[in-house]
Homo-oligomer: A and B are copies of this chain.
Amino acid sequence: MDILIHNTSKFMKYSSKLLEEAVNAFGNLPGVGKKSALRMVLHLIQDKNLKSEKIVKALNELQAGLKKCQVCCNYSDEDICNICSDPHRKKDLVCVVESIRDVMAIEETQQYSGLYHVLGGVISPLEGIGPEDLNIDQLCERVRKKQIEELIMAISPSIEGETTIFYVSKKLEDMNVNISTIARGVSFGGELEYADEFTLGKSIMSRIPYSQSMNG
């Protein structure tokens, strides 16, 4: 029984070009490698619940129907999103975030009843993202036209994030609006020894009186 070593000059991997193209299309998604993409595509081929059609339909509808809220720039199905149009929310408090994911994270806390403004990213010269690529002009316009008392900057504390906060605060310095940032420190339930040095250092620098922490 001699199984000859079979050297094809062009190394065949996929038995189907269509399959290969589908795997490449899924392999382009964030966090998906070639093996996961193949698993997904094979799953979709073998599936009897029409998951493949559901994906195609959802993507087509998304492309046709997704809008940006004209007030807060969040993704929405209407011209004004359901957060901005909710009459129970405080209209004079706006939380400025990078992306819709931050909106969803804050909404899940169920602790915030103001509105949002989605910047769509942070200023990052290295990645070629300038202030004009973000929804900063819309924010300034909003502060100018509507009665907004406070902007809470819930932006990640990176160099790019700090730059963005600084840029926005400079742009708004003539206007009558308070700008705050979210509190940073060791997280609840987090053990001191596992906190990174920077967070731990900052949390000692910005310590608060015990009586105040009891009320918060």
CA distance A4 to B93 in the complex (A): 11
User: Taking A29-B40, A45-B75 as contacts, is the C-beta distance between A3 and B93 under 8 angstroms?
Assistant: yes
Residues of B within 8 A of A66 (CB): 16, 18-19, 45
CA distance A46 to B61 in the complex (A): 15
Q: Indicate whether A197 reaches chain B with its CB closer than 8 angstroms.
A: no
Chain A 9-37 interface mask (CB, 8 Å, partner B; 1/0): 00111111111011011101111100010
The number of chain A residues with a CB under 8 A from chain B is: 75
A interface residues with partner B (beta carbon < 8 Å): 1, 3-8, 11-19, 21-22, 24-26, 28-32, 36, 38-45, 51-52, 54-63, 65-66, 69, 74-77, 81-83, 86, 88-90, 93, 99-101, 103-104, 107-108, 110-114, 150
